[in-house]
Amino acid sequence: MKRGPIGIFDSGLGGLTVVKAIQRDLPQERLVYFGDTARIPYGTKSPDTIVRYSKQIVRFLLKTEKVKAVVVACNTSSAWALKAMRETFKVPILGVIEPGARAAVEVTRNGRIGVIGTEGTIQSEAYPDMILRLMPTARVFSRACPLFVPLAEEGKLTGIIAEEVAKEYLKPLLKDKIDTLLLGCTHYPLLKKTIAKVVGPKVRIVDSADETARVLRTNLETYGVELSGPGSAKYYVSDLSRKFKVNAQRFLGSPIGQVDKVFIEKY
C-alpha cells in the first residue's frame, strides 16, 4: 500500500492542471488520474451527490490501483466531500482548499481576498472558512463564475467573449478592493491571461494547483509513504468523448497517454 501510486481525481479533465503541477514537483512519482467525464459538472450538483461520486472514485482508486494517497484535484469535491472521504477511508486524502487558502493568505498584503469557483464551491463557504481560520482578520469576497468552465472546455481562453464574461464576474471584486484573487476551480488557470488582464497588475492571482503539488511534496513524509517511481502517469475516465484528446492536451499541456474507460457507478 505504502509504495503504490498517488491517485488524483477530478470531475473531468480540469484536474490535469494538478497532475501537471505534481509531475513538475514530484517527477519520480507514479500517478493515476481519474476524470469523471461522464458526470461533469460537479459544480451545479447537490452535496449528497458529490459525496457519493467522490467515494466511488476513491473506492475505485484503492481497489484497482492500490493508491497510497489521494489528491482531490476538484475544488467542488474538496469543498463538499473531503470530510466524508477522510472518515470513510484510511488512506491520506489531500484536497485543494487548504493549500489554496494558505497560498492566498501568504500573498495578500491588505487582507482582502477574492475567491472564485463553481456555484457548489462558493455555496459551501469552504474557502472563506479556511482563509478566516488561517487569518482571522481577512475579508473574503466570493463569487461563482459558472461560465468559466464551459469557456475553458471550449478553448475560448482569450478574446472578446472570455473578456466580457470575466469583466462581468470580476469587476465587483475589484470594487471590493481585493489585492489577491484565488482561482478556486480546476478550469480557471486556463483563463489566467484573461483574468489577469481584467483584474490588472495590482491583484495577485493564486492558483491552488501549484500550491497543492507543493503541499503534497512536503507532506509525503508525514503520510508515511515512499516514492513509488519510476515517474509515470496512467489515466482513467468515465466517458470518452470525441473531443477528449484535444481537451486533455489543453489542460495537461502535452499529449495525453493511453486512457481507459471505467464504469464508475459499479464502485
What residues make contact with ligand DGL under the rule CB under 6 A?
10-12, 14, 40-43, 74-76, 117-118, 121, 149, 185-187
C-beta of 74 vs 262, nearer to ligand DGL:
74
Nearest approach, Cβ of residue 257 and ligand DGL (Å): 21
Helix ranges (DSSP H) in 66-178: 75-88, 97-107, 119-124, 126-134, 148-153, 160-175
Asked if residue 42 lies in contact with residue 118, where contact means CB atoms within 8 angstroms, the answer is yes
Asked if residue 115 lies in contact with residue 182, where contact means CB atoms within 8 angstroms, the answer is yes
Nearest to 216 by CA among 5, 6, 1: 6
Q: Is 185 an annotated catalytic residue? A: yes
Q: Is 145 an annotated catalytic residue? A: no
C-beta of 185 vs 225, nearer to ligand DGL:
185
Asked if residue 123 lies in contact with residue 130, where contact means CB atoms within 8 angstroms, the answer is no
Residue of minimal Cβ distance to ligand DGL: 43
Nearest approach, Cβ of residue 241 and ligand DGL (Å): 15
C-alpha cell at 184: 478556486
User: How many other β-carbons are positioned within 10 Å of the β-carbon of residue 242?
Assistant: 6
- Catalytic annotation, pick one of 185, 220, 233, 264: 185
Nearest approach, Cβ of residue 186 and ligand DGL (Å): 4
Alpha carbon of residue 66 to chain centroid: 22
C-alpha cell at 16: 490535469
Nearest approach, Cβ of residue 117 and ligand DGL (Å): 6
- Catalytic annotation, pick one of 19, 67, 74, 191: 74
Nearest approach, Cβ of residue 42 and ligand DGL (Å): 4
Asked if residue 5 lies in contact with residue 240, where contact means CB atoms within 8 angstroms, the answer is no
Nearest to 4 by CA among 223, 228, 218: 228
Q: What is the CA radius of gyration of the chain?
A: 17
C-beta of 10 vs 65, nearer to ligand DGL:
10
Asked if residue 118 lies in contact with residue 75, where contact means CB atoms within 8 angstroms, the answer is yes
Residues annotated catalytic, as ranges: 74, 185
